[in-house]
Chains A and B, each alone.
With several copies, the nearest count.
Chain A
């Protein structure tokens, strides 16, 4: 296991310490908890956004704590959703009286832990609402299963719902816009290599030197198929076909694009992917309003990437353009 760490048991704690040491102007940590909140939390009268999940997806979620996005990020053990008391602590720390929106990725564990935290908070008189992000088209959606997974599209929810809250939206407003983002966001990813959970010390799965996995989840969950490594353009064609067909996105639509590196894939390759994405969108008569390329929702040091499209309307454009100032996402 080639990692720059000390004791694998302490990675989350030490990471959060290092993050707070780096960005005291943005964030602080709640003592005794793996919870990162805005340096100036709680903000009186503003709806607060709390997100989180297992660690290993950095900069998600604590990296997006700051003006115009989240008020708290809760960090579970690597790839394990945080417990309700951690989330509860986050809710209490950021509630400014206007209520708290929980942004949850669609994993059974995350939903149950965040729900319990919400119940605890409501029992103390805090208004709580929640949304569940499920953007990954690699998994079929169905009412009778756990549905689709939540992946990089979550960051668009943080951005847009965060901007709505910053602009003075009520809890109902912020929840409504978050749900609208979820409805209009689709993603799909692929992996070239597995990653290693520090406490495990070895990869959970293996891929041969010439293999890749399409539709891989951000915790190493299996995808839709394992194939020979494809050329970037063919790969992007495949992912884009699945994504475009899903909502579907149509000619005349305007979108925001996110190319998200999973950890070990360099920007060079992400840009090569984006080149093809923009070609395909153009060919389909879809206009790109803004593009985001980089690491937003990673899988530790997995090599691979995901593509996310968000279908825009005027409200979205305005909120997407709004200022954001966080350790990992800034917009002037």
Chain B
């Protein structure tokens, strides 16, 4: 696999498309244990992202990812804006000024993203957040040499992570105010994270075939 800047933009556009498609679903999840805006926040942010990166095909991959991050930070607000914003900015820093990305870059940039989210949100696994989807995926990606199958396994791990959030009490974010009442509900942020990983996998798979 090798993804150049134009292709990276296409992948991000696919993520934006899938977030948009799941706007109401994510909002509905957030209305059960939060404030009913996660889908609205995320789709507002990715709409801005799509516009912002549309003219960046001649820029390096790091710059594109950093722009995504900065755009999310300055348009989303709430908890997810700084979290996903920091994630993309850190991912951009991690890949630097590369003009194209290979399989080997994926664990590096996602690990940087995870670290960024942890730094910003001070959450750990098991607190019913984005991390419950992202960390298992990153662990899988770091467990063996990278290929499309491992990527698939990572997406599956993220999905399991989303499933896992149903059985735990929220300790971070707005859902934590519910205490026990957050049990039984799937975390919106973990879900949007899984959606983004899954979109990325599908885009790469399409490109590989």
Binding site for B on A (CB under 8 A): 54, 76-77, 79-85, 107-109, 112-113, 115-116, 139-140, 144-146, 149, 197, 199-200, 204, 217, 219-222
Taken residue by residue from 103 to 143, chain B's Cβ proximity to chain A (1 for < 8 Å, 0 otherwise) reads as 00000000000000000110000000000000000000000
Contact A109 B74 (CB under 8 A): no
- Chain B, interface size: which category? 20 to 34
Cβ-neighbour of A109 out of B77, B176, B177, B181 (below 8 A): B77
Beyond A83-B77, A108-B173, is A220–B35 a contact (Cβ under 8 Å)?
yes
Distance, CA A221 to CA B78, complexed state (A): 15
Interface of A is mostly: loop
Distance, CA A283 to CA B29, complexed state (A): 46
Cβ-neighbour of A108 out of B174, B178, B179, B181 (below 8 A): B174
How far is the CB of B123 from the nearest CB of chain A, in Å?
A: 9
Beyond A79-B37, A82-B77, A204-B35, is A222–B176 a contact (Cβ under 8 Å)?
no
Given contacts A112-B83, A116-B86, A145-B176, 19 further A-B contacts (CB under 8 A): A54-B77, A83-B73, A83-B74, A83-B81, A85-B74, A107-B174, A113-B78, A115-B82, A116-B82, A139-B177, A144-B171, A146-B171, A204-B31, A204-B35, A204-B36, A219-B35, A221-B178, A222-B178, A222-B181
Contact B177 A146 (CB under 8 A): yes
Which chain B residues lie closer than 8 Å to A116 at the CB level? 73, 82, 86, 120
Beyond A84-B82, A199-B40, A204-B36, is A113–B77 a contact (Cβ under 8 Å)?
yes
Contact B174 A221 (CB under 8 A): yes
Distance, CA A76 to CA B44, complexed state (A): 14
Beyond A84-B73, A112-B121, A222-B177, is A145–B171 a contact (Cβ under 8 Å)?
yes
Beyond A81-B77, A145-B172, is A112–B181 a contact (Cβ under 8 Å)?
no
Closest to A85 in B: B74
Distance, CA A219 to CA B173, complexed state (A): 14
8 Å CB contacts to A: which residues of B36-54?
36-37, 40-41
Distance, CA A116 to CA B89, complexed state (A): 13
Q: List 29 A-B contacts (CB under 8 A).
A: A79-B35, A81-B78, A81-B79, A83-B74, A83-B76, A83-B77, A83-B81, A107-B174, A108-B79, A108-B121, A108-B172, A108-B174, A109-B80, A112-B79, A112-B120, A112-B121, A113-B78, A113-B81, A115-B82, A145-B171, A146-B173, A146-B174, A146-B177, A149-B177, A199-B40, A204-B36, A220-B35, A221-B177, A222-B178
